[in-house]
Amino acid sequence: MTTAIRPGLLITSLAIATTACAATLQDDFDDAPSSLLAPARLEEKWKAKVDNGVRDGRATLRQEDGNTFIRVLYPQGQIGSRASGASWRAPLPPADEATAEYRLRFEPDFQWTAGGKLPGLSGGTGATGGRPNPDGLTARYMWKPGGRLILYLYHSEQRGRYGDGIRLDAPPLEPGKWHTLKQRIKLNTPGQPDGELQIWINGKLALNRTDMRWRNAGQTWQIDYFYFSTFHGGASDDYRPNRDNHIDFDDFIITTIPGPPALPFPSPQS
């Protein structure tokens, strides 16, 4: 995070303050030197279980104009979480409501290929990888050709084995510029279609659902971790980039304290 206060973070902070709560997890990386991102830092600050990519050196800490951020490598020809990008799971206090916000920047000549995954909230079994399970959810994003963004959702009522791709009402993400993604999930009364889901992209509401049946009758699981998961893929060759690619990530703010819907906020400075 830069030394100047950006409007987006200021308004987000005010929204949190008005509900008398604080972020469960907040990291702008400004206390870290430029280096490889160490698993020990994630284990200490995020209490995270590091899965892939970090120990392989695919995540580094970079500095630019006084700002420190993570840069993730997506190697040439590689797809899937074992060989592309990075992933870790940060536990959260179990809750029926959570928000997750972060900034990201695709490098100027980023290769979209057929698509790839981006981080989001998760709960219960946290189904992924073509293994659906009604006892949980994962709400990651997915970039598509041309920078189009969708919500890539595993949930109790998904239509296919590999989750649902939900259209977001937003323009494509422009490479070389910082963008802010924010999601809010409120779990339903078990068995009832009264759960909520909102997505904001650069401060503009891109999805608003109030009919989600996250939990079936009798289920009591909750939102309980943030899943940093990013890689090229899909499993077919049209997801493979023909050279190395990079995405930058910064300014994570995650909260599990119930409150009113998150306020929209202005687009961050590029």
Mean pLDDT of 61-73: 97
Helix (H) or strand (E) holding 12: helix 7-18
Q: Which residues of 172-185 are buried (b: 16+ CB within 10 A; e: fewer)?
A: ebebeebbbbbbbb
When pLDDT is cut at 50, 70 and 90, the band that residue 126 belongs to is low
pLDDT over 70 (residue 196): yes
Judge whether residue 219 has pLDDT over 60. yes
22 or 32, higher pLDDT: 32
Average pLDDT, the chain: 87
pLDDT in tens, 127-151: 666 565 667 899 999 999 999 999 9
Q: What is the mean pLDDT of residues 49-73?
A: 96
Q: Which two tokens stand for residue 28?
A: 């702008």
Rounded Cα gap, residues 8 and 87, in angstroms: 26
pLDDT grade for 16, boundaries at 50, 70 and 90 = very low
Please answer whether residues 175 and 157 qualify as being in contact, where contact means their C-beta atoms are separated by less than 8 angstroms. no
pLDDT value at residue 257? 67
DSSP string of 98-151, one letter each residue: EEEEEEEEE-TT---TT-EEEEEEEEET---TT---TTEEEEEEEE-GGG-EEE
**How large a percentage of the chain has pLDDT more than 70?**
83
CB atoms within 10 A of CB 206: 20
Judged by average pLDDT, the poorest of 11-15, 109-113, 203-207 is 11-15
In 10 A of CB 252, how many CB atoms? Answer: 21
At 169-184, the pLDDT tens digits run 999 999 999 999 999 9
Q: What percent of the chain has pLDDT over 90?
A: 76
Domains contained in the chain, CATH given: 7-255 (2.60.120.200)
Going by pLDDT thresholds of 50, 70 and 90, the confidence category of residue 22 is low
Per-residue pLDDT at 21: 56
* Predicted confidence (pLDDT) per residue in 236-268, tens digit: 999 999 999 999 999 999 999 664 344 443 444
Whole-number pLDDT of residue 270: 38
Among 266, 255, 247, 263, residue whose Cα is nearest residue 74: 247
**Is a pLDDT exceeding 80 seen at residue 1?**
no
Query: Which of 22, 26, 52 has the alpha carbon at shortest distance from 37?
Result: 52
Q: For the residues 20-40, what does the mean pLDDT come to?
A: 88
Separation of alpha carbons 193 and 210, rounded Å: 8
